[in-house]
Amino acid sequence: MTLCNPKAFCLLEYERMIGLKLHEELDEFDTVDANQKVEELADLVEVIYAYLIYKGVSIEEFERIRLNKLDRRGGFQKRFMLGAVT
- pLDDT value for 78: 64
CA distance 76 to 63: 16
The answer for residues whose C-beta is within 8 angstroms of residue 62's C-beta and 6 or more apart is 52
- pLDDT value for 40: 96
The pLDDT tens digits for 7-57 are 666 777 888 999 999 999 999 999 999 999 999 999 999 999 999 999 999
Label residue 83 exposed, middle or buried (CB < 10 Å: 0-12, 13-18, 19+): exposed
- pLDDT value for 71: 87
Give me the amino acid identity at 67.
L
Q: Are 25 and 44 in contact (CB under 8 A)?
A: yes
CA distance 48 to 58: 11
How many CB atoms are closer than 10 A to CB 25?
A: 19
Is the pLDDT at 2 greater than 60, yes or no? Answer: no
Domain boundaries defined on the chain: 11-71
